[in-house]
Amino acid sequence: NAGVTQTPKFRILKIGQSMTLQCTQDMNHNYMYWYRQDPGMGLKLIYYSVGAGITDKGEVPNGYNVSRSTTEDFPLRLELAAPSQTSVYFCASSQEGLAGSGELFFGEGSRLTVL
Amino acid sequence: QKEVEQNSGPLSVPEGAIASLNCTYSDRGSQSFFWYRQYSGKSPELIMSIYSNGDKEDGRFTAQLNKASQYVSLLIRDSQPSDSATYLCAVHRAGNQFYFGTGTSLTVIP
pLDDT in tens, B40-86: 999 999 999 999 999 999 999 999 999 999 999 999 999 999 999 99
Instruction: Tell me if A104 and B32 make a contact (CB, 8 A cut-off).
Output: no
pLDDT band at residue A98 using 50, 70 and 90 as cut-offs: very low
Instruction: Tell me if B88 and A43 make a contact (CB, 8 A cut-off).
Output: yes
A29, β-bridge pairs: none
Average pLDDT for residues A33-42, to the nearest whole number? Answer: 89
Q: Measured between beta carbons, which residues in chain B are less than 8 angstroms from residue A48?
A: 96-97
Using CA atoms, how far apart are residues B64 and A64, in angstroms rounded to an integer? Answer: 37
Average pLDDT for residues B34-39, to the nearest whole number? Answer: 95
Q: Are A77 and A28 in contact, with CB atoms under 8 Å apart? A: no
What's the pLDDT at A83? 95
Instruction: Tell me if B4 and A42 make a contact (CB, 8 A cut-off).
Output: yes
Average pLDDT for residues A65-73, to the nearest whole number? Answer: 96
What's the pLDDT at B96? 65
Q: What is the pLDDT of residues B11-22, one digit of tens each?
A: 999 999 999 999
- Select from B5, B42, B98, B99 the residue whose CB has the most chain A CBs within 10 Å, as the one to mutate to test that interface: B98
